[in-house]
Each structure stands twice: as structure tokens, then as C-alpha cells.
Amino acid sequence: MPFREKTAWLTLCAILIVTAMFWLHAPDAFNAHNHRWVLLALVLSLGTYVLIEVVGYLVLRLRNPRDAKTPKDERERLIDLKALRFAYYTFVIGTFGGIFFMLHLVHAGPGTIGTVVLVAFVVAQIVKHVARIVYYRRDA
């Protein structure tokens, strides 16, 4: 498996783990309007994500020193751009679709709309890394 594909798997797993950890407890806090907990959970989630990424990347780098030193070539940059396009559409559709749904159909408040944007961003990141993995696997 190419080094870049391994890093894509690492990021995808980190996002899924941190998102699952956050949403396992978030609904209770949202329902209780415990905004301090939500903020703390967001900061802790971000910290956990960075920790998983840094430790995972260092392990991958130690196990594949030659591949890690090789800069991204034109095909890998193209794969990143194509994956980013999927993520962009996901984010735009998710954000505007979600806001429309929340405002006109559910009549939700601004806090919920902020959550919609956050969810759209996370889903877009997941789509981006899944797309990267699919492109790497198809071209390997």
C-alpha cells in the first residue's frame, strides 16, 4: 500500500474515532443546553484528533522512511484535487441543504445551524479521504 494511501487511512480513522466519541455524548449535552460541555468536548476532540494524526504519522514515517521523504508527484496532487472537489460539493450541499432544512422545516435556532455546518464539514472531510483512498486503490 502506498505511503499516501496509508496517511489517508490514518486521517479517515482519526476523524471517525473522534466524531464517534463526540457524538456519543453530545446529544445529552445539547438537550441539557450545556454549552460549556459542548465547547470542552469540541476542544478535547480536536486535541485527540491532532494526537492520533501526529503519533500515527510518526509511526508511518518510521516504517516507510524512503516513501515519506518523497515529495508528492503530479498524480498524487491530481488525486488530492479530485478528492477535494468531492469534499467541496459535499460541504456546500450539506451546509446550504442543512440550513434550509433547519430554518424552514424544523424552525431550529442558530445553535443547531452551527451544528449543521460542523457536521457538513466533518462529512466533507470523510468524503475527501474516502475519495483519496478509492483513487489510490484504482490506480495502484
Residues that bind another protein (CB under 8 A): 2, 4, 67, 70, 73-76, 135-136, 138-140
Closer by beta carbon to another protein, 62 or else 73: 73
Closer by beta carbon to another protein, 25 or else 75: 75
- Provide, rounded to whole angstroms, the least separation between the CB of residue 65 and another protein: 14
Cβ–Cβ under 8 Å, residues 60 and 3: yes
CA 124 – CA 44 distance, rounded (Å) = 21
Give the other-Cβ count within 10 Å of 27's Cβ.
9
Residues in the chain: 140
Closer by beta carbon to another protein, 36 or else 73: 73
Cβ–Cβ under 8 Å, residues 17 and 52: yes
CA dihedral (92, 75, 60, 88) in degrees, to 10, reads 0
Closer by beta carbon to another protein, 38 or else 128: 128
- Provide, rounded to whole angstroms, the least separation between the CB of residue 72 and another protein: 9
- Provide, rounded to whole angstroms, the least separation between the CB of residue 23 and another protein: 34
